Structure 1
Amino acid sequence: MSIGYVALVLHAHLPFVRHPESDYVLEEEWLYEAITETYIPLLQVFEGLIRDGVDFKLTMSMTPPLVSMLLDPLLQDRYDAHLAQLEELAEMEIARHAQNGHMKYLAEHNAREFNAARVFWEKYDRNLVKAFKQYLDSGNLEIMTCGATHGYLPLMKMYPQAVWAQIQVACEHYEQTFDRPANGIWLPECAYYEGVDRLLADAGLRYFLTDGHGILYARPRPRFGTYAPIFTEAGVAAFGRDQESSQQVWSSEVGYPGAAEYREFYRDLGWDAEYDYIKPYVMPNGQRKNVGIKYHKITGKGLGLSDKQLYDPYWAKEKTAEHAANFAYNRERQVEHLHNMMQRRPIIVSPYDAELFGHWWYEGPWFIDHLFRKSWFDQGTYDMTHLADYLKAEPTQQVCRPSQSSWGYKGFHEYWLNETNAWIYPHLHKAAERMIELSKKEPEDALSWRALNQAARELLLAQSSDWAFIMRTGTMVPYAIRRTRSHLMRFNKLYEDINQGKIDSGWIEKVEAIDNIFPDINYRVYRPL
């Protein structure tokens, strides 16, 4: 019998980026890259595990913006075209390197991967949500929800109705998508504040995740630290991130993804190839970009991109087996040590961004595959579990008040509230006040109903934590600023038009077509609690 649990948790999220008004927007490729490099490879791993009799258990969030984009026919069509372009370029690369043995080998490897993605994409009729749902239905995958648009909840807590809207709209969207209520929620950015647990309980949620210090600084201090969940006074379970297992993957200094054998993310054919050759595959204005074909490995620390050596997927895959074995070995020793101290079965919760596996760390899905296989066949110290199953098996936990926290820089709210992005919050707060005011209205006709619902959509989209995050990182900042401003301007126009009784039906039709998330939203979700 096992003496502990390990829970691998993946957070699958992308901001809602959809631009039917434009033929090409670079930021839409965030989704296309994640489909090719993360979501399809993960599903291929799941398929292989079930085929080989591995009854894997994994917890994964799928946020409403991501689910909405995966189900959107326009974005499905555009991904089709994106993948076709990749397949075409991969075949050209095979021909270009026909006389160079290793480069041809790499080009053929890339082509096989893109062709396999095409087969998988068409196998599920371009519906990856359906593909993930089958593993939810089989009990292998526990899918959580998140905030409706990944809004940073502690920075809107002065408006409980706005927090409630983020939670309730997400739960309704989850139930419509997966034909069942959500059990758990990945709090956006793992950001917790005291009192949000009551809203989670009212929405029917059973558990959430927080960073480790959110548990360690709880009151009273939890007896078992982060190695058992705690129940809040509202009856919701809080799971804390394990620092040791997280560091082995996340750390830029000692984490697995930095191994010399692994593929170099930052050196891409889009920048290496002759311009006339690559021009049809870069941006319409001719500007270079990453195209997703990479030939080099990390090679070593401190090297410039020009010093990188050629990649070999065979040796990289061997390295993932070594790293998965090391991860499993360390979890065995950790569980044994904790079990001896606790005299009960500990749980080690290891949460990561899903897009780390495959997109940023190309070999990440291979690592997950090896880890589940080694955990299933090669040890009996711990059970891999998902969080819902754990709560069924271990229903009794200590009651505490978690500490305010996030998994961001310094562990609190500084990354989302600083000199780069503080300007957005007075506008967001004013919009929240106005939306609460609008929620008390009763529509006079169908057009008023549409306007009120669209106002709710625009506020939710403006509240996405991704925009503040991007402003802080310093990448794609103009886009994040433009998105924040455009949603706020649309919201404010709707507010004024509704109050003046002069709703522009032609304009609102255009806005509904662009910002079409949550088609069944009810603006009354913002009514005072």
Structure 2
Amino acid sequence: MVTTPTVGRLAIVLHTHMPWVLGYGTWPVGEEWLRQAWAHAYLPMFALLRERAEGGLTHQLTLGVTPVLAAQWDDRTSVHEQARWIADWHTRASGKALEASRTADESAARDAERNYQLAITAAHELDEHWSAGGSAALRPLVDSGVIELLGGPLTHAFTPHLSDPLIDLSLQAGLADTTARVGHRPTGMWAPECAYRPGLEQFYARHQVSHFMVDGPTLQRAGASLHQPHRIGDTDVVAFGRDLELTYRVWSPDSGYPGDPWYLDFHSFDHAWGMRSYRVTDKQSDAKAPYEPQATAASIDRDVDDFISAARTIMLNSPTPDPVIVAAYDTELFGHWWHEGPAFLARLLDKVPEAGIQLTTLSRERSRAADSPPIELPSGSWGSGKDFGVWEEGEAGELHMRGRTIQEAVCDYLASHRRSHRTGRDHFGDALTTEMFLALASDWAFMITKDSAADYARKRADGHFQRVAELLHSAGHESGQSRITTRDTRLPFLDSRTWRAASHGIGVP
């Protein structure tokens, strides 16, 4: 047996996130996003990883799960609604099959059978492994070592925009949430939007976060090598950089594998039966041919080979010895946005070792930062322009200013009421801070800037800002407060009593 010499290491990092959508709309925006992503991405991804764990494989990839998504996975009503959604998918597939039989439409019959089988598989996966919630499905993967789990802030707020006390509160609550749900306290974290501003490493160090990720250009602007981790400032916190050259082969603002003519088209819909039934065919045309799943195998193999060839070329040309290449994506790409994504990933994980590339996780590589002096990172994100523009320009800038205002008001409330709840939880403070963090989710500004369900994002942000204002108003009127429901259990590990005024200021930018 010929062994290919090792040329480098590949760390695949997946970011699993959904803003809080339970109770905020169903179709076409709102809970439908969660239902589709759960059925088409989360279930097959976890099944893929569980199969590899059962085969004794470890260190396959690094997986981040935001606490706000985990809370929706674990909500009993949400789990039941997911089962109902999948049952409806099954019913729709059966209906399409009957209609295809009546009209003798062989193409529609094949598509109905494909969706029928997918719904059956999803129902079984949910019942067998997710009936107690997503954390019950996630924990065995962490226990087995097949993945490294990343934690992070509570609700995916744009961390550089948070005041110092709220950075601490968000990290404390987010890491406590993950620890309670999964039984492991993550040592690494996914920074929302890969956003960084100087000084954040001090907060990470205080919360025992040993490593995080930034976008490649942020690291490169510091004059640092992209293919190794680096200690940041005067801390032992380590930053990894995403390699855009490799990452963008799969998914970029302009291109990527999912645009292959034979792959399922995410944007083309059989509205009569509520399912995607057509292949990409021609990205420049609205005319779409029926999807033929058996025809995608060659495209998947070609894309896997292309990815591996590109990774080897980058590694062989890297000035860093034994380079670590980080390719990072949203988990929802694999199965939801890109139907063939899980098959691609499974094939990739199988073939990478044969090509002389070692699969690894961020935690396994962080010690290599000791080989070079620490660096000072500039501000940056993975948004357009690799700066803060997506969250600060135009209408997003107005949201940012409103966010600063409510942060100051909520912190004033918490400072003045810290001693009034010395025993038991401060349910009012918990409700207030929960609503504030939901208002500050980075998703709303992103959706508005990108004009992606922008009206929904505006309504969500406005609704949360309004609710914060109502709660703050009621805080000064006891009778008013008693009329407003102040117990909020959506994010149960957010304990407002742990808020502390900053004595180590960076300040709100």
Question: Shared fold by TM > 0.5?
Answer: yes
Residue equivalent to 1:325: 305
Which one of the candidate residues 488, 498, 506 is aligned to 1:524?
498
- Can you list the C-alpha shifts for 1:159-205, whole angstroms capped at 9, x where unaligned? 21122222222111121112222111111100100001100110100
Residue equivalent to 1:59: 62
Aligned-pair CA distance for 1:497: 2.5
Structure 2: how far apart are the matches of 1:480 and 1:19? 14
Q: How does 1:169-248 map to 2 (within 5 A)?
A: 169-218=173-222, 221-222=223-224, 225-233=225-233, 234-248=235-249
Distance of aligned partners of 1:95 and 1:367 in 2 relative to their CA distance in 1, 3 Å threshold: same
Aligned-pair CA distance for 1:484: 1.6
Residue equivalent to 1:101: 106
Residue equivalent to 2:506: none
Residue equivalent to 2:145: 139
> In the alignment, residue 265 of structure 1 is paired with which amino acid?
F
SS in 2 for 1:352: strand
Percent sequence identity is 23
Structure 2: how far apart are the matches of 1:427 and 1:267? 37
Which one of the candidate residues 377, 397, 400 is aligned to 1:402?
377
Which one of the candidate residues 400, 406, 413 is aligned to 1:438?
413
Which one of the candidate residues 147, 159, 167 is aligned to 2:171?
167
Residue equivalent to 1:294: 276
Residue equivalent to 1:335: 315
Is the Cα–Cα contact under 8 Å of residues 50 and 141 in structure 2 kept in the other structure?
Answer: no
Is the Cα–Cα contact under 8 Å of residues 435 and 526 in structure 1 kept in the other structure?
Answer: no
Structure 1: how far apart are the matches of 2:376 and 2:239? 10
Which runs of 5 or more residues in structure 2 are unaligned?
A: 504-509
- Can you list the C-alpha shifts for 1:38-63, whole angstroms capped at 9, x where unaligned? 00111122233345554451101100
Is the Cα–Cα contact under 8 Å of residues 53 and 144 in structure 2 kept in the other structure?
Answer: no
SS in 2 for 1:177: helix
* Residue 385 of structure 1 pairs with residue 360 of structure 2: yes
SS in 2 for 1:226: coil
Aligned-pair CA distance for 1:95: 2.0
Residue equivalent to 2:161: 155
> In the alignment, residue 34 of structure 1 is paired with which amino acid?
A
> In the alignment, residue 326 of structure 1 is paired with which amino acid?
D
Structure 2: how far apart are the matches of 1:23 and 1:266? 19
Aligned-pair CA distance for 1:447: 9.7
Structure 1: how far apart are the matches of 2:236 and 2:253? 37
* Residue 428 of structure 1 pairs with residue 403 of structure 2: yes
> In the alignment, residue 109 of structure 1 is paired with which amino acid?
R
Structure 2: how far apart are the matches of 1:484 and 1:348? 37
Which one of the candidate residues 512, 518, 528 is aligned to 2:488?
512
Structure 1: how far apart are the matches of 2:469 and 2:370? 47
SS in 2 for 1:330: helix
Aligned-pair CA distance for 1:8: 0.5
More deviation, 489-498/239-248: 489-498
> In the alignment, residue 461 of structure 2 is paired with which amino acid?
T
Structure 1: how far apart are the matches of 2:185 and 2:276? 41
Equivalenced residue count is 493
Structure 1: how far apart are the matches of 2:38 and 2:368? 34
Is the Cα–Cα contact under 8 Å of residues 229 and 369 in structure 2 kept in the other structure?
Answer: no
Structure 1: how far apart are the matches of 2:8 and 2:289? 42
Structure 2: how far apart are the matches of 1:346 and 1:11? 22
Which runs of 5 or more residues in structure 1 are unaligned?
A: 279-290
* Residue 412 of structure 1 pairs with residue 387 of structure 2: yes
Distance of aligned partners of 1:25 and 1:264 in 2 relative to their CA distance in 1, 3 Å threshold: closer
Distance of aligned partners of 1:436 and 1:214 in 2 relative to their CA distance in 1, 3 Å threshold: same
Distance of aligned partners of 1:260 and 1:528 in 2 relative to their CA distance in 1, 3 Å threshold: same
Q: Structure 1: which 4+ aligned runs deviate by more than 6 Å?
A: 22-25, 445-448
- Can you list the C-alpha shifts for 1:319-374, whole angstroms capped at 9, x where unaligned? 11221122112212322222xx33x2100000011111111111111110000011
Distance of aligned partners of 1:444 and 1:496 in 2 relative to their CA distance in 1, 3 Å threshold: farther
- Can you list the C-alpha shifts for 1:13-36, whole angstroms capped at 9, x where unaligned? 00011118x887840111111111
Residue equivalent to 1:284: none
Structure 2: how far apart are the matches of 1:394 and 1:236? 9
> In the alignment, residue 518 of structure 1 is paired with which amino acid?
P
Residue equivalent to 1:364: 341
> In the alignment, residue 176 of structure 2 is paired with which amino acid?
E
Residue equivalent to 2:92: 89
Aligned-pair CA distance for 1:525: 1.9
Aligned-pair CA distance for 1:227: 0.5
SS in 1 for 2:379: coil
Structure 2: how far apart are the matches of 1:421 and 1:495? 24
Is the Cα–Cα contact under 8 Å of residues 9 and 350 in structure 1 kept in the other structure?
Answer: yes
Structure 2: how far apart are the matches of 1:181 and 1:26? 33
Structure 2: how far apart are the matches of 1:301 and 1:444? 59
Distance of aligned partners of 1:504 and 1:17 in 2 relative to their CA distance in 1, 3 Å threshold: same
Q: CA RMSD in A?
A: 2.2
Is the Cα–Cα contact under 8 Å of residues 317 and 363 in structure 1 kept in the other structure?
Answer: no
More deviation, 419-428/133-142: 419-428
Q: How does 1:227-306 map to 2 (within 5 A)?
A: 227-233=227-233, 234-251=235-252, 253-270=254-271, 273=272, 291=274, 293-304=275-286
Is the Cα–Cα contact under 8 Å of residues 434 and 494 in structure 2 kept in the other structure?
Answer: no
